[in-house]
Amino acid sequence: MTTSELAGAVPVGSVAPEFDLRDQNNRRVTLSGLREDGDVLVVFFPLAFTGTCEGELGHIRDSQPRFSDDTLTTVAVSVGPPPTHKVWSSAQGYLFPILSDFWPHGDVARSYGVLDEQRGYPNRGTFLVGRDGLVRFSAMVGPGEARTEDTWSAALAARS
């Protein structure tokens, strides 16, 4: 069940909140910089080293041509620090950016409406941001729920 509008996730048609975060290699990554090359799939996940998150990001890794090309970049975002993401991404073979929303803690997840304030980490939010900065797809599932293939397909179908 997708709960994007009910839970307050940034709706389709809105301007996507800008971010400036560090990836697993401690490099700065901005949404505006990514958008220069095309659409951006922003995938929020709760925590590294957890089964569902590992499975979802493994799906992106194993289907890389669907999630990354000359006009699409996929990034994953969580509240873990870059060193944790570095170890995890290296162990799992994730070659796409894993961004750290560590400090201010969960600020980007909060701006996208997906931060679970009680738990201190994001729900599984999925946003397709067009080159123009507008949200073209928005979905979120709650704790313990995994994204379905329908969610991935709908997000990718929303490309400009």
DSSP string, 95-118: -S-EEE-TTTTTHHHHHTT-EETT
- For domain 4-157, give the CATH number: 3.40.30.10
Query: pTM for the complete prediction?
Result: 0.94
pLDDT band at 5 (very low <50, low <70, confident <90, very high): very low
Report the Cα–Cα distance between both ends of the chain, in Å, rounded. Answer: 25
Predicted pLDDT at 144:
83
Catalytic-labelled residue, pool 31, 40, 53, 155: 53
Three-point CA angle 86, 122, 67, nearest 5°:
60
pLDDT digits (tens, 9 = 90+) for 63-84: 999 999 999 999 999 999 999 9
Q: How far apart are CA 41 and CA 74, in angstroms?
A: 5
**Res. 30: pLDDT tops 70:** yes
- Mean pLDDT for all residues in the chain: 93
Domain residue ranges in the chain: 4-157
46 part of the active site: no
Mean pLDDT value across residues 134-138: 98
